[in-house]
Amino acid sequence: MEQRLERPSGNEPEAPPLPLPADLRPPAEDPDVERLLGNLEKLLDEEQGFRSKVRSLPTATRGLVAGGAALFAVLCVFLLVRRADFAAVRPWQLELAIGSYMLPLGILIWRLLLPLHRVETRSEHFAALITASFALPFLWAVVPPRAIAHVLQAADIRRDCLLLGLLVGGAFIALLRLLDRAADGDPRSLAMGAAAGGLLANLALVIHCPQTRFLHLALGHAPIGLLLLWAYRRAARWGAPPRAAPEP
């Protein structure tokens, strides 16, 4: 005699759950997936605190902070260590030099602080922008504004340009790193941050140093961005967590 099995009612609390078909059962947990999820949870835990709050600010707010810091740095140089012949320079001459640095600097800040989902994927655009930003100070060294050139006295010769530029550019890079949402070791962010720091440093030196000699500009002004890039990469490499050994 054939025996019929009745499906337990859902209202019966003691009824055992029905077995799922084999094709509907959840797959066994993958060890690699568990490891990746654990690493993600660890990164989220580490992003708590002041740094996370700053990076969670709207893009416009972070851009205003970066732009305000750049203007503040230039203002400090103007008030504390501006060039001796500043009053003798015509306004349009300084505007030409300052504007040539401000425009690419603003573009770099905007591109660097864009939301990650809006970042342009074409690498050639970023490469052109970064290359132009590093090359601009060398262009000013080769073809300085002759209208700004003056006959210098020995007391007017600046010997602290490289140090001042590295301090200004390095501090600005640190601020951009705090505001940028990209990963700390992202090569594009490293290059754009160093280029922005080099442009701001050379902008400050326009206010600080009256010299237009090629040797001084080529050694004390123009290479600051490249030096910052070298130091920035080494710092990022030292701060990166050690790679885990591959599992056998």
Q: Is residue 100 part of a domain?
A: yes
* Mean pLDDT, range 4-16, rounded to an integer: 52
Sort residue 40 into left (φ over 0), alpha (ψ -120 to 50) or beta. alpha
State the pLDDT at residue 45: 55
Q: For CA atoms 106, 122, 47, 168, give the dihedral sign.
A: negative
Count of the separate structural domains present in the chain? 1
> Between 144 and 222, where is the model more confident?
222
Whole-number mean pLDDT of the chain? 78
Name the pLDDT band for 99 (thresholds 50, 70, 90).
very high
Of 51-55, 105-109, 171-175, 178-182, the poorest mean pLDDT is in 51-55
> Between 152 and 56, where is the model more confident?
56
Pair of tokens at residue 152: 């210098």
Q: Determine the Cα–Cα distance for residues 241 and 29; give it in Å rounded to an integer.
A: 27
- Is 66 in contact with 113 (CB distance < 8 Å)? yes
Of 95-99, 173-177, 193-197, 212-216, the poorest mean pLDDT is in 212-216
State the pLDDT at residue 42: 56
Q: Is residue 153 part of a domain?
A: yes
Q: Is residue 25 part of a domain?
A: no
> Where do we find the tokens 């707010």?
61
Pair of tokens at residue 70: 């750049």
Q: Is residue 32 part of a domain?
A: no
> Where do we find the tokens 């770099």?
108
Nearest to 42 by CA among 228, 241, 207, 187: 241
> Between 14 and 217, where is the model more confident?
217
Q: Determine the Cα–Cα distance for residues 106 and 117; give it in Å rounded to an integer.
A: 20
> Between 126 and 111, where is the model more confident?
111
Q: Is residue 46 part of a domain?
A: no
Report the length, in residues, of the chain.
248
* Mean pLDDT, range 28-57, rounded to an integer: 64
**Containing domain of residue 192, as a range?**
51-80+91-238
Residue 76 pLDDT > 70? yes
